[in-house]
Structure 1
Amino acid sequence: MADPRAPMPPLRVLLSEGGSTSAREAITVLGLAGHHVEICDPSPRCLGRFSRFVAKYHRCPGLGRDPAGYLRFIEGLLAQEEFDVLLPIHEQGLLFAKVAPRLQGLTALALPSFEAYRTAISKAGFSRLLDELQLPQPSTRLVTSAEQVRAEARAPCVIKTAIGTASRGVWLVRDADQLEDALRELAAIDGFADEVLLQEFIEGAIEHAQAVFAHGELLAMHAARRIAEGAGGGAAIKQSVRRDGVWADLARIGRALEWHGALSVDYILPSDDASPRYIDCNPRLVEPMGAKLAGLDLLELLLKVSLGQHPPAAAESQAGMRTHLAMQALLGCARDGGSRGDLFRECGDLLRRRGRYAESREELTPVRSDWLSAVPLTLTAALLLLAPSLAGPLAAKGWGDHLLDAGAVRRIDGEEIG
């Protein structure tokens, strides 16, 4: 049996998609470690294609539109080519968990049970789990109609669909007009086909923790505070932190779910005390390059767990490491009303590592180690300088067919996957 403490030999790794920021950062971490990386994605211009570390791109059906077709494609690819590990880098893991025995005969992968994954991916399911474990969250009600929302909403509040990824399906409501806007958008996406969360709004710092588990045991965790927000709700600047209390809470969550693989949570630290309030769960790693730069390679641990190893708990990541995502920073600057002059100054600060980027390291587009990553970064900067109003449409390009939506989840739940 392989020594779980030994460095990983080069592996052939297939990523389940290539369009998300998490996939793009995983490509960098895996490539720098010497692994052979291939990606699947419905878009031939996905972010992951702009990397020298991607050995091959496979155009596949979109998970959001055609889960059964996507699954057939993955199974066919795994049957034709030999991969050591299939890495569900986004919520494709829900589909994989549904048919795990079929996939495990073709390659290695780390996933919990379908029931556990379904609990984690649902905001309503995660809220119920927090209640069961008596872990803190904002005051939350589950509602099923617009009338119930109007009757019970107290601004400021947050409205969330049960299923939503990449910060979609979330509305911050501060007044009656915003409430009606949110309800119209909910109606347009048939949001009340499932439960909707009506949640207390809490002021405070937003942090994120991502972890790797082996059969319910927490092996490693990296936490970071969001210093600046980019477009679409993602972080533009982060700083790593140490959170022993979050470690303990995550350990309880992992044991309750018998989690196997990667799991992440978002939480708010209210300004009046240090107790976290958990607000979201993602059954995957989220932008793992920050952890790597802070000294913790979560992907190496995840690969070992995928291969059936049970490595010892890892040392903590370094607190105080500041990282940034230049594309998100530029999109956030433009979204917040930045002029061309503001964008020029932001570009200058990024290039010269000054201002809020002093002593910060790039996560998403590491041009020095991966020159191809300069292509999407340069194109984004050029388009925003041409028309800052493009920030919204450009950010929305990350919400493609490679992601799950509520309809796809219902099809997977209903076993309409072939």
Structure 2
Amino acid sequence: MPDPAKSLRVLVSEGSSTSAREAITILGLSGHHVEVCDPSLWCLSRFSGLVRKFHRCPGLRDDPAGYLAFIEQRLAEGKFDVLLPTHEQGFLFARAKQRIDGRAGLALPSFASYRTAHSKAGFSRLLDRLELPQPPTGIVTSAQQLCEAIRFPAVVKTSVGTASRGIWFIRRDDDLESALHDLGGGTFADEVLVQDLIAGTTEKAQSVFCRGQMIGFHAYRQVAAGVGGGEAIKQSVRRSVVRAHLEKVGQALDWHGALSIDYIMPDDGGAPLLIDCNPRLVEPMNAYRSGVDLVGLLLLISLGETPAVLPEGREGVLTHLAMQALLGCGARGGTRRDIARECVLLFANSGPYAGSTEELTPVRSDWISAVPLAVTSALLLASPKSAIKIARGGFGAHLLDLASIRIIEGEGFGE
């Protein structure tokens, strides 16, 4: 078995997400050999000097079987130590884990556990079973049931969706009509959640489990919003209650690998309410800057190690994502002058960015990452209204949809 303290050969499952890009930075700074698979020639992670080789692959969404075969071929040829799923590819790998075993280290729970955490409806039912707090929630399968269950203000969510896809905020009848139109009306293709909209601050927590035991934890709050529900500026926090809740979830699922949750800190001072789950790490750089290397833990358990529990990181550590900050400015109706002013503040590390470090495009340690940042800045300066369109470019073929999920869940897939 390779020594985890030495350089490892790591194959990253996709290169389009912000989470993958941040994991690559951490891997590269730790001295590991990193290769990336992605269906897009222009994915975010291509603009990194820390990536040794890029492999263009079939899209997970459009051809899950072809994507799996491609990964198998890379593992056979490349002699990788670890296969690192950074997004929804874990759903596929958990389903076909027997085809990967012995070819590379991989930290994932059972497929049944992964499916529960990946489904918003499944996660909500798990919270009810564990008697963990969540907003008042209903699960419906038709337009009629949704209309009967909803009370304003509310949040409507499809059971499958990531990166804020499939979410509607319902405050009046017009919002409900728009959501029903998007959902197709009548009988829905899958379960839909309807939750009371709770006034409060959304925070996120991430963890790594080793065979049901939590060995690493980190939480952060949003200081400034980006686009599409993402964070432009984050600050690390300590949340012992949330840690206990997440530990209970991981133990119930006998989790092995990365597990993250979103939760609301209500404005009325009530207890944290859990609202979403991601069976992966979500943008792990704030944790890394706070002294909690969750990516490093994933490598260790992927290699079969049982690491000691990491101590909690520093509280109050600020990090930011410059691209998210600029896109958020444009999405909120900012003008060219507003975009230019934000660029100056980011460049000078002043204003809201004082004392903060960049997460996504670490130009000082990885100069090629300046390319997507410069292109984003130029596009927004030319047309600030293009922010939403630019942000939607990240919802690509590297992600799952309902059709591809049904294929992967199908009888005999991956055997």
Length-normalised TM-score, structure 1: 0.97
Q: Distance in 2 between matches of 1:191 and 1:138?
A: 24
Change (3 A) 1:91 1:236: same
Task: Give distance in 2, aligned partners of 1:274 and 1:214.
Answer: 31
Quote the offset at 1:290 in angstroms: 1.0
The answer to whether structure 1 residue 71 and structure 2 residue 68 are counterparts is yes
Runs of at least 5 residues in structure 2 that lack an aligned partner in the other structure: none
Q: Please list the CA deviations of residues 169-211 of structure 1 after superposition, one character each: whole Å capped at 9, or x if unmatched.
A: 01111111011111111118x9821110011100101100000
Counterpart in 2 of 1:334?
Answer: 330
- 1:126 lines up with 2:123 in the alignment: yes
| Residue type of the alignment partner of 1:338 | G
The 1-side partners of 2:157 and 2:5 are apart by 40
Given that 1:268 and 1:276 are in contact with CA atoms closer than 8 Å, whether structure 2 keeps it comes out as: yes
1:152 Cα offset (Å): 2.1
Once the 2 structures are TM-superposed, how far is the Cα of residue 2 of structure 1 from its aligned partner?
8.2
**Is the alpha carbon distance of 1:191 and 1:353 closer, same or farther for their aligned partners in structure 2, counting shifts above 3 Å?**
farther
Q: Tell me the equivalent position of 1:213.
A: 209
Q: Distance in 2 between matches of 1:232 and 1:178?
A: 17
Match of 1:345 in 2: 341
Match of 2:195 among 185, 194, 199: 199
Task: Specify the alignment match of 1:413 in structure 2.
Answer: 409
Matched, 1:386 2:382: yes
Distance, in Å, in 2 between the alignment partners of 1:56 and 1:232 is: 30
Distance 1:153 1:78, change over 3 A: same
The answer for the alignment partner of 1:10 in structure 2 is 7
User: Is 1:148 aligned to 2:118, yes or no?
Assistant: no
* Distance (Å, rounded) in 2 between the aligned partners of 1:227 and 1:139: 26
Q: CA deviation at 1:274?
A: 4.4
- Counterpart of 1:341, as a letter, is R
CA drift of 1:8 comes to 1.9
Residue pair 1:165, 1:405 contacting (<8 A) in 2 also? no
Amino acid across the alignment from 2:310: A
For residues 72-87 of structure 1, what are the structure 2 equivalents within 5 Å? 72-87=69-84
Matched, 1:157 2:154: yes
In the alignment, does 2:313 pair up with 1:310?
Answer: no
How many Å apart are 1:20 and its aligned residue?
0.2
* Post-superposition offset of 1:416: 6.4
SS in 1 for 2:268: coil
User: SS of 1:248's equivalent?
Assistant: helix
RMSD, aligned α-carbons = 1.4
Amino acid at match of 2:172: D
Q: Indicate whether 1:111 and 2:108 are aligned.
A: yes
- For residue 297 of structure 1, report the CA deviation from its aligned partner: 0.6
Q: Does 1:92 align with 2:67?
A: no
Report 1:217-296 matches (<5 A): 217-296=213-292
Residue 27 of structure 1 corresponds to 24
Mean Cα deviation higher: 271-280 or 356-365: 271-280
Classify 1:57/1:260 alpha carbon distance in 2 versus 1 (closer, same or farther; 3 Å): same
- Deviation track 1:352-388 (CA, whole Å, cap 9, x = no partner) reads 1111111111000000000000000000000000001
Q: Aligned partners of 2:31 and 2:187: how far apart in 1? A: 43
Supply the distance in 2 between the matched residues of 1:206 and 1:159 (Cα, whole angstroms): 16
Out of 394, 405, 412, the position equivalent to 1:398 is: 394
Give yes or no for the alignment of 1:369 onto 2:369: no
Contact kept, 8 Å, 2:2 with 2:81, in 1: the verdict is no
Structure 1 stretches (4+) deviating beyond 6 angstroms? none
CA contact (8 A) 1:330 1:346 kept: yes
User: Gapped runs of 5+ residues in structure 1?
Assistant: none
Distance 2:289 2:270 in 1: 26
Letter in 2 for 1:348: V
Cα distance in 2 for partners of 1:415, 1:58 equals 29
Aligned with 2:49: secondary structure? Answer: coil
Question: How many residues are aligned here?
Answer: 414
Q: Following the alignment from structure 1 to structure 2, what is the Cα–Cα distance between the partners of residues 381 and 301?
A: 35
5 Å-filtered alignment, 1:162-181, equals: 162-181=159-178
SS of equivalent residue, structure 1 residue 9: coil
| Cα contact 1:71–1:417 (8 A) shared by 2 | no
CA distance in 2, matches of 1:83, 1:328: 32
Shift of 1:406: 1.6
When the two structures are superposed, what TM-score results if normalisation uses the length of structure 2? Answer: 0.98
